[in-house]
Chain A
Amino acid sequence: MKNAVGREIPDFLLTNGKEVYQGKNYMDGKYIQKASPRTRRYEKPQESKLVETLADALRACGAKSGMTFSFHHHLRDGDFVVNMVMKAAIEELGLDNLTIAASSLGSAHDPIADYIEQGKVVGIQTSGIRGRMGEVVSAGKLPTPAIIRSHGGRPRAIEGGEVHIDIAFIAAPTSDCVGNCRGIGGKSDCGSMGYAMTDAEYADHVVIVTDCLVDFPNMPASVEAINVDAVVVVDSIGNPKKIASAAARISQNPRDLMMAENVAKVIASTPYFKDGFSFQTGVGGPSLAANLFLEQYMDERNIKMGWAIGGICGPMVELLKKGKVGKVIDVQDFDLDAVRSINQTPNHFEMSASQYANPANKGAFVNKLDFVVLAALEIDTGFNVNVLTGSDGVLRGAPGGHPDTAAGSKVCIIVTPLVRGRMATVCEHVVTVTTPGDCVDVLVTDYGIAVNPLRPDLVECLDNAGIPHVSIEELKEKAYSIVGRPDDLQWEDKVIAVLEARDGTILDVVRKIRPYQLDG
């Protein structure tokens, strides 16, 4: 069945009430029944929940084959915990038929690819997938398709019972002996622990994995002991160098800067750019650089940013310290400046993924957002964005909060170079739709700006400000005139991943890529 972004969704996926994507806000006003976990009572006072090893923790939580384990990705590419836990479960306890439900997975998790190939791991639910795991999943090695969700879609699915977590493993930079944990104060600090919070509340069992045990009570706790079954102390939960980069620097690449300047120009041309406006930006080159130029416009007009959300890094903390932004509310930290600031700098707060972006709760921050600036691997003439599959059709990306912020914000700006090497970023049809075009408002490229025809109000803003813009078709033609028109990718029928829209409908599927034949 074809959905609202023109993608054919196979019928076998449309069971148990699953629907195809029907457009932004289709689920608004509907009711959901929240799921509740089956959890153990700890009535008798306990001295400590410490157990010796991960295997002990698994046993204590009744781990068995066929279960779903959840993980968060605050340790990013430095994470050791997913691999450690899966190794203990598979190699020590001999479990199989396991499903991993993670907020994201990256190249740190290459070893899991072996467990997929061995048939020990049979399900993957995640926002991001890269490296070897992306390759084996793309090669169709999972018996069921991987499920890709946005950062807001994940807590929605957990709260609504679509994902039932048997055991949540929560990597914690610090924890006390009963499981109050924080993202700071240890040797592998990650700052915010926003993606782990829903897991802790909805999992049947919760295991804290830490490398820094601190005195009770570890306060204020990001994940609270009231939800925790066991605490395991390991040598190291991750490689600090890969958890938070030294400092996210603003790009000096002239192309990035030129695009960033145009992003700021577009923002400043809209009526939403007024004192107290709200803002989120990605950490990619041109997106982050937009901060710099935006600050100039703020100074010029003597206005301040009310609040900023998202993954946070140094430049935003800098603005907070300078008093140019009122509050920063933080679901994840990307560099040490942000890690050191959260809950320390006044008005720098932590929030959960649900509070950040869940479309099924009653007050996600993204819904109050004025502007979001995002990147794209590809964007097509319907303004649909792909941030998941590479030009070769292989999984190597992450929707993350992209679809959530795009849908919630008043102005969603995509900033990307028109071509990358020989790849046309602006194209006829994206390989996979990860953010639907009805949520995307403006495209800024190094060759020009295009406004979504769904937003005539923004067209007027740009015209009034004398900002030149063209149709997105024109940009696509320009891209093809530079790189040539690409051949279509060749697919097999087998679906290897299902792309859920943030509201739980099906936005797209990724099929198995057919090996390329030069003489075919």
Chain B
Amino acid sequence: MEIKKPAAAGTLESSDAQVMIEPGDGKIELSLQSSVMNQYGRQIRATILETLERLDVTSAKLTVVDKGALDCTLKARVECAVFRSCDASEANIPWGGAVR
């Protein structure tokens, strides 16, 4: 998917993550803050990058502020931000396909 415009999803509540995405310049740029960085930083980054890969996003700037979200929440927030940036978040989501 091509990131067409800036979009965000998620909150800064405990157990959630806020994801902001905007069009990139040919690569993925990830800025990550996390309340559990020392123990989960790498896993969080891997989850975010895998999710983008599944959605075939290859160019984007991402800012993620994580407040101890589980992987399932991280995925949901990244996906929602990506679909919102393409105005495609409301219907015909490929559940079980690119979203899984």
Q: Please name all residues of chain A whose beta carbon is closer than 8 Å to the beta carbon of B41 when the two chains form the complex.
A: 487, 516, 518
The answer to whether B40 and A489 have CB atoms under 8 Å apart is no
What total of chain A residues lie within 8 Å of the partner, measured CB to CB?
A: 17
The answer to whether B67 and A421 have CB atoms under 8 Å apart is yes
The answer to whether B38 and A423 have CB atoms under 8 Å apart is no
Q: Please name all residues of chain A whose beta carbon is closer than 8 Å to the beta carbon of B42 when the two chains form the complex.
A: 487, 518
Query: Does A486 touch B at the CB level, under 8 Å?
Result: yes
Q: Please name all residues of chain A whose beta carbon is closer than 8 Å to the beta carbon of B68 when the two chains form the complex.
A: 420-423
Quote the shortest CB–CB distance from A213 to chain B (angstroms). 46
The answer to whether B38 and A392 have CB atoms under 8 Å apart is yes
Query: Does A236 touch B at the CB level, under 8 Å?
Result: no
Q: A518 vs B68: C-alpha distance in the bound complex, in angstroms?
A: 16
The answer to whether A391 and B39 have CB atoms under 8 Å apart is yes
Q: Please name all residues of chain B whose beta carbon is closer than 8 Å to the beta carbon of A483 when the two chains form the complex.
A: 40, 70
Contact with A along B29-68 (1 / 0, CB 8 A): 0001001111111110100000000000000000000011
Query: Does B14 touch A at the CB level, under 8 Å?
Result: yes
Q: A510 vs B45: C-alpha distance in the bound complex, in angstroms?
A: 28
Q: Please name all residues of chain A whose beta carbon is closer than 8 Å to the beta carbon of B80 when the two chains form the complex.
A: none
The answer to whether B39 and A421 have CB atoms under 8 Å apart is no
Given contacts A484-B43, A518-B32, A518-B45, contact A422 B38 (CB under 8 A): no
Q: A393 vs B36: C-alpha distance in the bound complex, in angstroms?
A: 11
Q: Please name all residues of chain B whose beta carbon is closer than 8 Å to the beta carbon of A482 when the two chains form the complex.
A: 70
Query: Does B69 touch A at the CB level, under 8 Å?
Result: yes
Closest to A483 in B: B70
Q: Please name all residues of chain A whose beta carbon is closer than 8 Å to the beta carbon of B67 when the two chains form the complex.
A: 421
Closest to B67 in A: A421
Q: Please name all residues of chain B whose beta carbon is closer than 8 Å to the beta carbon of A487 when the two chains form the complex.
A: 38-43
Closest to B66 in A: A422
Query: Does B87 touch A at the CB level, under 8 Å?
Result: no
Quote the shortest CB–CB distance from B42 to chain A (angstroms). 6
The answer to whether A516 and B40 have CB atoms under 8 Å apart is no
Q: Please name all residues of chain A whose beta carbon is closer than 8 Å to the beta carbon of B45 when the two chains form the complex.
A: 518
Given contacts A489-B38, A518-B41, contact A421 B71 (CB under 8 A): no
Q: A516 vs B33: C-alpha distance in the bound complex, in angstroms?
A: 12
Q: Is the interface of A mostly helix, strand, loop or mixed?
A: loop
Q: A483 vs B40: C-alpha distance in the bound complex, in angstroms?
A: 9
What total of chain B residues lie within 8 Å of the partner, measured CB to CB?
A: 18
Query: Does A513 touch B at the CB level, under 8 Å?
Result: yes
Most buried by B among A420, A421, A422, A482: A422
The answer to whether B32 and A421 have CB atoms under 8 Å apart is no
The answer to whether B37 and A392 have CB atoms under 8 Å apart is yes
Q: Please name all residues of chain B whose beta carbon is closer than 8 Å to the beta carbon of A391 when the two chains form the complex.
A: 36, 38-39
Q: A482 vs B40: C-alpha distance in the bound complex, in angstroms?
A: 13
Given contacts A421-B14, A484-B43, contact A513 B69 (CB under 8 A): no
Q: Please name all residues of chain B whose beta carbon is closer than 8 Å to the beta carbon of A421 when the two chains form the complex.
A: 14-15, 35-36, 67-69
Q: A483 vs B69: C-alpha distance in the bound complex, in angstroms?
A: 9
Q: Please name all residues of chain A whose beta carbon is closer than 8 Å to the beta carbon of B69 when the two chains form the complex.
A: 421-422
Q: Please name all residues of chain B whose beta carbon is closer than 8 Å to the beta carbon of A486 when the two chains form the complex.
A: 36, 39-40
Q: Which residues, 291 to 343 on A, are CB-close (under 8 Å) to B?
A: none
Q: Please name all residues of chain B whose beta carbon is closer than 8 Å to the beta carbon of A484 when the two chains form the complex.
A: 40, 43, 70-71
Given contacts A421-B14, A422-B15, contact A516 B71 (CB under 8 A): no
The answer to whether B14 and A513 have CB atoms under 8 Å apart is no
Quote the shortest CB–CB distance from B66 to chain A (angstroms). 8
Contact with B along A181-197 (1 / 0, CB 8 A): 00000000000000000
Name 28 interchain pairs, CB-CB below 8 A, sorted by A: A391-B36, A391-B38, A391-B39, A392-B37, A421-B14, A421-B15, A421-B35, A421-B67, A422-B15, A422-B40, A422-B69, A422-B70, A423-B68, A482-B70, A483-B70, A484-B40, A486-B39, A486-B40, A487-B39, A487-B40, A487-B42, A489-B39, A490-B38, A513-B38, A516-B41, A518-B41, A518-B42, A518-B45
Q: A422-B35, A423-B36, A482-B70 are in contact. List 14 more A-B contacts (CB 8 A).
A: A391-B39, A421-B15, A421-B35, A422-B40, A422-B69, A423-B39, A484-B40, A486-B36, A490-B38, A516-B38, A518-B37, A518-B41, A518-B42, A518-B45
Which 10 A-B pairs give the minimum distances between C-beta atoms? A421-B68, A486-B39, A422-B68, A392-B38, A422-B36, A516-B38, A421-B15, A518-B41, A487-B39, A421-B14
Interface residues in chain B, defined as those with a beta carbon under 8 Å from any beta carbon in chain A: 14-15, 32, 35-43, 45, 67-71
Interface residues in chain A, defined as those with a beta carbon under 8 Å from any beta carbon in chain B: 391-393, 420-423, 482-484, 486-487, 489-490, 513, 516, 518
